[in-house]
Structures are given as structure tokens and as C-alpha cells.
Homo-oligomer: A and B are copies of this chain.
Amino acid sequence: MATFRALQAASLVEQAYEEIRSAILGGILKPGSAVSEAAIAREMGISRGPLREALRLLEQAGLVVSEPNRGHRVPVFTEEDLEEFASIRLALEGLAIRGALEAADGPERLREIVERMRRASRRGDRAAAVTLDREFHETIVELSGHRRLLTVWNLLRDQIELAVAEISLTYPTLAGRADAHVPLLESMERRDLAGALAALESHIYDSELLQEARRRTGRRDPEPSGGEAEGAGGGAGP
């Protein structure tokens, strides 16, 4: 068992990536605002080369958008984008749950996170609650042991977080955040795949935020006719 993990001099590209990423997610760089190479490079005291590479990566991750010769900006997301992200999340996390159900210590780890989340929202620590929310879902993906899935999910995560942050600026309070995870958690503790998928779906699709967003845009819930929770549909598995 290793005592120390390998240290690694983070390259300027990685450092710049992280710095800009957290500035965007932290709301320091506001949606729609320009992200100037030259200005940031000056501020960080590095040359533009590494910064350009970092920006290219951020662009591929969806945290900035760019126009040729016009520079980079923080993207502006709409409620429609949230719907798109929600459906992808549902597909990917649904896949993750299947794998996570086979991890012995899965429910235990998840329950602990929910507990911490509950404490955080009880003491009004909004930032911690958001972090724990992300950690909950990330843990499910990790528990699945699916390396590529984790990669893809990570790439989407930041983008989703940014979109949520933008939209949720208008709806300040998200009280029962922790409780929203309980049905999913309990299904997983029962090793109930179908139930967990259904719980995940309503957790993601029927979140306060999306509900509110739909209300604002005056759209109806998607698929009013089609079976919505057929979660464990075609049991045609081999």
C-alpha cells in the first residue's frame, strides 16, 4: 500500500485550465462575457501558448465558445439546453447505476454523502450542498467501475454545472436537495434496478429547477402521452 502518491509538476496548461474553469463555474467570469487570451495571460504571468491550449480544451468541454479571429466567450445556456443535458445525464447515469449496483459498498458510501448533504443544507451551506450533490452522482459513476463512462461524464459535468448555475441564478433557493436523493438511494440499497432507474429519472427530470424552467418557457413536460416511467421497459435482456 503506497503511503505517498506521486507528485507531479502540473503543467501551465493544466493549471490555467483549472483556474479558468473554476472562475467560470464560480461565476467570476459571467455568461456571455469575453475571455481574452492576452488579458488572462498577462494576469497569470504566463505566455499565450499554454493559455491557448487550455482554452481549446475548455472549448471542447463546452465551458467556452469561440469564433474564429473573434476570441472566446462564456456560453449562455437556455432552458432548452438544460433539457438536453438532463436526457444525456439520465442515459449515462442509468448505465452507471447498473454497474454501481454490483459494488458492495455502494449504498453505504452514497448514504454518507446524503447525510452530509442534509447537514449542509440544514446549516444553510449552499456551496457545500452543491458540491455534495455533484459528489453523489459522481460516486455512482465511479462505483460502476466504468472508466470511459467516467471520462465522458466528467466532460459533461462541468458544462451541466455551468448551465445549472446560470439558470438557477433566477431561482435562489433549493431547499430539499438532500431528500431528493433518498428514493434513489433506497432503491439502490434494495438492489432494485428498475426502481432505481425510475427514481433517477424523476430525480433528474422532475427536479425543481427543470420544473421551474419549463414553467418559465411555458412548455409542457416532454412526452405527455408516451409512457414516461417505463424505466425498465423491454425486459428482453439475454
Instruction: Tell me, in angstroms, the Cα distance from A149 to B62 when the chains sit together.
Output: 13
Chain B nearest CB: distance from A198 CB in Å?
4
Instruction: Give the residues from 204 to 238 in chain A that come closer than 8 angstroms, CB to CB, to chain B.
Output: 205, 219, 221-238
Closest 7 CB pairs of A and B: A94-B232, A227-B237, A223-B235, A91-B233, A194-B234, A230-B233, A198-B236
Partner of A219, one of B98, B200, B232, B238: B238
The SS class assigned to the A binding surface is: helix
Which B residue sits closest to A69, measured CB to CB?
B9
Q: How far is the CB of A108 from chain B (nearest CB, A)?
A: 22
CB pair A226 B237 closer than 8 Å: yes
Partner of A233, one of B57, B68, B94: B94
Contact with B along A18-55 (1 / 0, CB 8 A): 00000000000000000000000000000001001100
Complex contact A147–B197 (CB within 8 A)? no
Q: Report 27 cross-chain contacts, Cβ distance below 8 Å, ordered by A residue.
A: A11-B68, A49-B52, A57-B60, A60-B155, A62-B151, A84-B147, A84-B148, A87-B149, A87-B233, A87-B237, A88-B95, A88-B146, A88-B148, A90-B233, A98-B228, A152-B156, A194-B230, A198-B236, A200-B232, A201-B236, A205-B234, A221-B238, A223-B238, A226-B235, A227-B234, A227-B237, A228-B235
- Seen from chain A, the residues whose Cβ lies within 8 Å of a Cβ on chain B are 8-9, 11, 13, 49, 52-53, 56-57, 60-62, 68, 80-81, 83-85, 87-88, 90-95, 97-98, 146-149, 151-152, 155-156, 193-195, 197-198, 200-201, 205, 219, 221-238
Question: Is there an interface contact between A234 and B238, defined as CB atoms closer than 8 Å?
Answer: no
A57 cross-chain contacts in B, Cβ below 8 A: 56-57, 60
Q: In the assembled complex, which residues on chain B have CB atoms less than 8 Å from the CB atom of A61?
A: 60
- Which residues of the other chain, B, contact A231 by a CB distance below 8 angstroms? 91, 94-95, 230, 232, 234
How many Å lie between the Cα of A238 and that of B238 in the bound state? Answer: 32
* A149: B residues at CB distance < 8 A: 84, 87-88
Question: Cβ of B223 and Cβ of A87 under 8 Å apart?
Answer: no
Which residues in B have their C-beta under 8 angstroms from that of A84? Answer: 146-149, 237
CB distance from A81 to the nearest CB of B (A): 7
